[in-house]
Copies of this chain bind each other. A is one copy, B any other.
Amino acid sequence: MTDEPADNDIPGASRRTFLKGGAALGAGALAGAAARAESPDPLITEVQDWATSFGEAVDATPYGMPIHFESHVVRRNVEWLTESPVSSINFTPIHALEGTITPQGCAFERHHSGAIELSKADYRLMINGLVDRPLVFTFEDLMRFPRASLVAFCECAANGGMEWGGAQLEGCQFTQGMIHNMEYVGVPLRLLLAEAGVQPEGKWIYAEGADASSNGRSIPMEKAMDDVMVAFYANGEALRKEHGYPARLVVPGWEGNMWVKWLRRIGVYDQAVESREETSKYTDLMPDGRARKWTWVMDAKSVITSPSPQAPVRHGKGPLVITGLAWSGHGKVARVDVSLDGGRNWQEARITGEAKPKALTRFHLDIDWDGSELLLQSRAVDETGYVQPTKDALRAIRGLNNVYHNNGIQTWWLKPDGEVENVEVA
User: By the criterion of a CB under 8 Å from any partner CB, how many residues of chain A are at the interface?
Assistant: 135
A119 to B97, CA, bound (A): 18
Q: In the complex the two chains form, is B98's CB within 8 Å of A232's CB?
A: yes
With most chain B CB atoms within 10 A of its CB, the pick from A53, A136, A262 is: A136
Question: A264 CB to closest chain B CB, in angstroms?
Answer: 7
Q: Which residues of B contact A60 (CB under 8 A)?
A: 85, 115
Q: In the complex the two chains form, is B120's CB within 8 Å of A238's CB?
A: no
Q: Is A30's CB within 8 Å of the partner chain B? A: yes
Cβ-neighbour of A101 out of B85, B137, B183 (below 8 A): B183
A101-B101, A233-B98 as given contacts; A30 in contact with B212, CB under 8 Å: no
A53-B212, A103-B103 as given contacts; A1 in contact with B227, CB under 8 Å: yes
Within 8 A of B (CB), among A164-195: 183-185, 188, 191, 194-195
Q: Is A310's CB within 8 Å of the partner chain B? A: no
A213 to B344, CA, bound (A): 54
Cβ-neighbour of A73 out of B54, B137, B238 (below 8 A): B238
Question: A40 CB to closest chain B CB, in angstroms?
Answer: 9
Q: In the complex the two chains form, is A44's CB within 8 Å of B264's CB?
A: yes
A150 to B309, CA, bound (A): 28
Q: Is A370's CB within 8 Å of the partner chain B? A: no
Question: A129 CB to closest chain B CB, in angstroms?
Answer: 13
Q: Which residues of B contact A48 (CB under 8 A)?
A: 122, 210
A59-B85, A77-B59, A89-B58 as given contacts; A65 in contact with B3, CB under 8 Å: no
Q: Which residues of B contact A104 (CB under 8 A)?
A: 64, 103
Q: Is A352's CB within 8 Å of the partner chain B? A: yes
Q: Is A211's CB within 8 Å of the partner chain B? A: yes
Q: In the complex the two chains form, is A124's CB within 8 Å of B63's CB?
A: no
Q: In the complex the two chains form, is A63's CB within 8 Å of B64's CB?
A: no
Q: In the complex the two chains form, is A54's CB within 8 Å of B1's CB?
A: no
Q: In the complex the two chains form, is B64's CB within 8 Å of A242's CB?
A: yes
A268 to B94, CA, bound (A): 37
Question: A127 CB to closest chain B CB, in angstroms?
Answer: 9
Q: Which residues of B contact A63 (CB under 8 A)?
A: 65-66, 73-75, 105-106
Q: Is A393's CB within 8 Å of the partner chain B? A: no
Given contacts A18-B146, A103-B236, 10 further A-B contacts (CB under 8 A): A2-B151, A4-B227, A50-B117, A55-B117, A57-B115, A65-B105, A66-B238, A73-B237, A98-B185, A144-B320
User: Which 10 A-B residue pairings sit nearest by Cβ, starting from the closest?
Assistant: A55-B114, A1-B227, A57-B85, A4-B148, A62-B74, A55-B116, A44-B124, A54-B114, A98-B233, A149-B353
List 16 A-B residue pairs with CB atoms under 8 Å apart, sorted by A's residue number. A5-B188, A26-B133, A44-B265, A50-B212, A51-B210, A55-B113, A55-B115, A56-B114, A58-B110, A63-B65, A64-B75, A98-B236, A143-B315, A144-B319, A147-B323, A150-B353
